[in-house]
Structure 1
Amino acid sequence: MFLQHLLPPGAYWDSSLLTDRILHALMSSHHKYLPAPNYFKCVQREMVPYMRRIVATWVLEVCEEQRCHKEVFPLAMNYMDRFLSVEPTKKTHLQLLGAACMFLASKLKEMIPLSAEKLCICTDNSITSAQLMFFFLLVLNKLKWDLASVTPLEFIDNFLSQLPIRRESRPILRKHAQTFVALCATVVDFSFFPPSMVAAGSLVAAVEGLQIKMAGNAMMSHKLTEQLAQTIKSDLDCLRVLQEHIESLLETSLRQGEQQHSVTMETKTVCEGQDLLATPTDVCDINI
């Protein structure tokens, strides 16, 4: 822990990574890392999409709790989708697979990767270190050790550098776009879109949501959409539809969060009104 505080948070950002050459390299390679479409119908027999979303939400919570690098979560979900595209998996192994993919992604992106023991604790010790290492090697084998997946986050800064947006608006815009990207990674439907499209849709959705704060910028969101569609060589209507789906996903997520908070508060109120001598204290803190 002492050494962790002494280590720098990471390398400084290199502006040479924002050139057209780098963007072209990303664009030319990102399609090869897309999972197979409809793998739930063609490959998986026991699992359905909502099970993947439950595990994705858990992986996201662990990444946030452990303060992982922002690319660990979308990279882990890419590994999971690519693995599920080629390997039939029991539904009882889905959390184990999520932990293994997170373990692998953290080794690629973190200066101090997550340990196997810590990940086992995050599963309430429902898996062992031996099981985690077995799935870790299995994922490597099924992905043929090709781990350099391109994620939507790798496009965000490149897009920002090309758009006529005020410099002081970029940090908050980047943060909101990264949130949209993480939200998209929890839903399997978005994993079949090219990362550049998800990044562009997330960026435009962020601009749309921050429109009041970003008043005075040279271009409005619809013009940004047109420019980004040209940059990624995508159909304009397709990008707009994707943006609408991303905004709808945010609304659904916020609504579910409000409902969960309401249920949690009602549960705590009921617990506080009961005889605490007959009710364990931790029951009052259950998050339904």
Structure 2
Amino acid sequence: MRKQILSSSSTTAGEKRTALPTSTVLKLAANSPGPLVKIGLVHLPVPNKFLKDMKRIQDIKAADRLSVSLVPSDGERGSARGRASVEAAAVGVSVRVSVRCGDDMEHELLCCEAESVRRAYRDGNLLTDRVLQTMLKAEDSYLPSANYFKCVQKEILPYMRKIVATWMLEVCEEQKCEEEVFPLAMNYFDRFLSVEPIKKTRLQLLGATCMFLASKMKETIPLTAEKLCIYTDNSIRPSELLQMELLALNKLKWDLASVTPHDFIEHFLTKLPIQKDTKQILRKHAQTFVALCATDIKFIACPPSMVAAGSVAAAVQGLHLKSADSLLSSQSLTDFLSQVIKSDPDCLRSCQEQIESLLESSLRQAHQQQHGVSTDTKGVEDEADLSCTPTDVRDVNI
């Protein structure tokens, strides 16, 4: 992925050009009043001896988004002393420059990777049985039709959905979207196809639109229309994406708070006797199974709670956690989760087996594709060898 880089335009001869990304953060604390230096839209008092240092970072004002806040220190509110915080948009590698003045002048330059996303603590009130029962009652309202390929769509075939779904998953993975984005986008995708016929030439446009909506619902910084158009190799325009967004919202009746399998995973994990470290690994495996199920048409009409329970059970069995506790054995875990979601244990066991079978077929297909690429490469090399001069005189065509 290309990263925007903001480079300094004022460099002297022989001086190495300084590249400042748009995520540059400047922290300046001034001990004594000085001339007013304009940073963004705010004039700040800065000592004379720091004006030269400020010139080297003037280009920060060209950042995408710039916010300036003046925070006086404790006990000195209203005085000339204060702290100015200038924050630019976070893109790529961040560079933090802090200049502190006083008796000892200290300059710090800290270059580090982009800061991780700050997340709120999990609210225990959202993991109660009352919330779980509410989701179980609401999940059927967001189920798409299982036979829309025959009853609604005239041009769309199951393999076309598979291709677009795989592309959507790759986009979400490359953009490091939240785990909820892809299952939610596929829910919008199937619900739209359940009520509105569409041409196969506009299927990728619909997939991009569903990702656009899902990222707005679940991402702090959603995907942009321009970026999604780039992922389609510019086969669609941003204006077309925005028009399709309005159509999708209309067909979905503006009801975007869908219940997805991802919403149930945390409820199930809190009820299992597992350690914190193991829970993190189990969560990641279950989320992978959920994403895999979203690409397959067999799970279109399957309730999200059953997909989530089957994914957790398959993850427990795949990680060989059943020996740690009797509840985590295959039979006991299936019976326990079926009671939680109020489902038949045999149906849940069948769902788990389908998930495991889907994983095996996906791994087999990936291995065959990789082997096919290596075989094709070897075939090209063999053809290159055959095109050399023949060693037998009988092979020469005079």
Q: What TM-score results when the alignment is normalised by the length of structure 1?
A: 0.91
1:121 maps to which residue? 230
Match of 2:100 in 1: none
Counterpart among 146, 153, 159 of residue 44 in structure 1: 153
- 1:172-191 alignment runs, 5 A limit: 172-191=281-300
Q: What amino acid does structure 2 have at the position aligned with 1:176?
A: H
Higher-Rg structure is 2
Question: Counterparts of 1:22-171 in structure 2 under 5 Å?
Answer: 22-171=131-280
Indicate conservation of the 8 Å contact 1:55/1:94, yes or no. yes
Query: Does the C-alpha gap of structure 1 residues 9 and 188 become closer, same or farther in structure 2, counting only changes over 3 Å?
Result: farther
Matched residue, 2:366: 257
Higher-strand-fraction structure: 2
Structure 2 Cα separation of the partners of residues 264 and 66 of structure 1: 26
Give the equivalent residue in structure 1 for 2:119.
10
Separation (CA, whole Å) in 2 of partners of 1:272 and 1:105: 46
Q: Given the superposition, is the C-alpha separation of residues 217 and 7 from structure 1 closer, same or farther in structure 2, using an over 3 Å criterion?
A: closer
CA shift for structure 1 position 228? 0.6
Q: Would you say 1:217 and 2:330 are equivalent positions? A: no
The CA deviation at 1:18 is 1.3
Q: Aligned pairs, how many? A: 274
Q: Distance in 2 between matches of 1:8 and 1:164?
A: 28
Question: With CA pairs under 8 Å and 6+ residues apart, which has the higher RCO, 1 or 2?
Answer: 1
- On the 8 A contact 1:72/1:109 being kept in 2, the answer is yes
**Once the 2 structures are TM-superposed, how far is the Cα of residue 166 of structure 1 from its aligned partner?**
3.5
Cα RMSD for the two superposed structures: 1.6
- 1:15, distance to aligned residue in structure 2 (A): 2.3
How much does 1:17 deviate?
1.6
Rounded to whole Å, the distance in 2 between the matches of 1:186 and 1:245 is 13
Deviations 1:1-45 (A, max 9, x none): 522346834333222221111111111111100001201111001
Residue 268 (structure 1) shift: 3.8
1:243 match: 352
Once the 2 structures are TM-superposed, how far is the Cα of residue 79 of structure 1 from its aligned partner?
0.1
Show structure 1 runs of 5+ residues with no match. Answer: 276-288
**Would you say the 8 A contact 2:326–2:332 is kept in 1?**
no
Letter of the 2:317 partner, please give it: E
Amino acid at match of 1:162: K
Of 174, 185, 206, which residue of structure 1 is paired with 2:315? 206
Letter in 2 for 1:177: A
Identity %: 61
2:173 is matched by which residue type in structure 1? E
Assess if the C-alpha contact under 8 Å between 1:10 and 1:111 holds in 2. no
Shift of 1:48: 1.1
Instruction: Read off the aligned partner of 1:199 and give its amino acid letter.
Output: A
Q: CA deviation at 1:214?
A: 5.3
* SS of aligned partner of 1:126: coil
Name the CA shift for 1:274/1:49 in 2 (closer, same or farther; >3 Å).
Answer: same
Contact 2:180 2:218 survives alignment (8 Å): yes
- Residue 304 of structure 2 corresponds to which residue in structure 1? 195
One-letter identity of the residue aligned with 2:169: L
Instruction: Identify the range of structure 1 (215-224 vs 36-45) with the bigger mean alpha-carbon deviation.
Output: 215-224
User: Residue type matched to 1:115 in 2?
Assistant: T
